[in-house]
Structure 1
Amino acid sequence: MTLKSLCLGVFIAVLAPFVSNAQDQTKLGGYLAYGTEIENIGIGVNAEFPIADQLTIAPSFTYFLPKDEFGVKVNWFELNGNVNYYFVDSSNISVYGLGGLNYSSVKVSYDDAVGFGGDFSASDGRFGLNLGGGANFEIGSNILPFAELKYVIIDGGQLVIAAGVKFNI
């Protein structure tokens, strides 16, 4: 049995009793993000699936726009599986803390157009942890603006600032 399958089994076993108690709506959305390590803007999609009062599972995918500096091209994306815990609502703002898993993939390539040593390409994928928080802003419709700040604990680390909208479905 691998560590990944053991962690998945424990995660499902712990959350399974709460699934029938879900009280909130499922949400789908999109956002813009900025990553401090890649120093570029990204676009993303996210979802929230309620599993208990004040607790949601929140997967997301962020694709950072390709970066090209001095012939070196960088492509970066991340896949996240977070759990959001909502604190008591105050007025029209819902504040939550988040924690979860992250998979980041980076590809770097260099096309030698001048002829000084040929082309080069390398890629790497790493697993890390997410820690952060966010806020949803109730505006009285099915559209829910939000802002989120998380730190990805991985080689080099990356702070990701995101803002967008979620739609109740």
Structure 2
Amino acid sequence: MKTFLLSFGLLLLTCQVMLAQDDFRIGGKLIYGTEIESIGIGATAEIPIIDKLVIAPDIGYYFPKKEGDVKFNMFEINGNVNYYFVDDETLGFYGLGGLNYTHAKVKFDNDFVGSGSGSSGEVGLNLGAGANFPIGKNFLPFAEIKYVLGDADQLVIGAGVKFNID
């Protein structure tokens, strides 16, 4: 959790530094991971580089999952680049690619085995697509799907809202 909070703080700091950029976006989202089979929350940003290309850092935290005596937590940090194939007043469609870091932690406690915990971090690649559905100038609901390739393979489906910061 400390690492998640530190990562979230770094994302916010990056966003503050980049506020001077045109069409800078920041937002929040709900996510679902098929491997962990849990929903979570996340924060995202878009920082323009050139026409149709943005850097898109984001983080996601999956709600803890408990099965019997085992509790499982997971979060991810992503550094993506989005390329907008379509970006107009009614639709923004983009492809995404980037790096992923996934951190998982398991705790168990029972009378037979005892108690213990373990954690692991994995690096992977993101490949996916997304779409923005602009409502007005500054309010952009969006949906996104990506596959994380690596030791922590999973499909991640997300939806949320981004806000233009001019």
TM range (shorter): 0.7 to 0.9
Indicate yes or no: 2:76 matched with 1:39.
Answer: no
Q: Report the Cα distance in structure 2 between the residues aligned to 1:86 and 1:110, rounded to whole angstroms.
A: 44
**Structure 2 counterparts to residues 59-98 of structure 1, below 5 A:** 59-89=57-87, 92-98=90-96
- The alpha-carbon deviation at position 141 of structure 1 amounts to 3.3
Structure 1 spans left out of the alignment, 5+ residues: 1-22
Indicate yes or no: 2:157 matched with 1:161.
Answer: yes
* Bigger CA radius of gyration: 1
Identity %: 63
Indicate yes or no: 2:135 matched with 1:129.
Answer: no
The residue aligned with 1:28 is 26
Flag as ranges the 4+ runs of structure 1 deviating above 4 A.
Answer: none
Q: For the structure 1 residues 60 and 24, does the alpha-carbon distance in structure 2 shift closer, same or farther, using more than 3 Å as the test?
A: same
- The alpha-carbon deviation at position 70 of structure 1 amounts to 0.7
Q: Report the Cα distance in structure 1 between the residues aligned to 2:84 and 2:164, rounded to whole angstroms.
A: 16
Q: For the structure 1 residues 47 and 89, does the alpha-carbon distance in structure 2 shift closer, same or farther, using more than 3 Å as the test?
A: closer
Structure 2 spans left out of the alignment, 5+ residues: 1-20
Which amino acid in 2 is paired with 1:158?
A: Q
Deviations 1:66-121 (A, max 9, x none): 00011110000000000000003366111000000000000011012xx2121021
Q: Larger strand proportion, structure 1 or 2? A: 2
**Aligned 8 A contact 2:102 2:152 in 1:** no
SS in 1 for 2:114: coil
Q: Report the Cα distance in structure 2 between the residues aligned to 1:162 and 1:150, rounded to whole angstroms.
A: 9
For this pair of structures, how many residues does the alignment match? 145
RMSD in angstroms over aligned alpha carbons? 1.3
TM-score when scaled to structure 2?
Answer: 0.84
**Aligned 8 A contact 2:44 2:57 in 1:** yes
Indicate yes or no: 2:126 matched with 1:118.
Answer: no
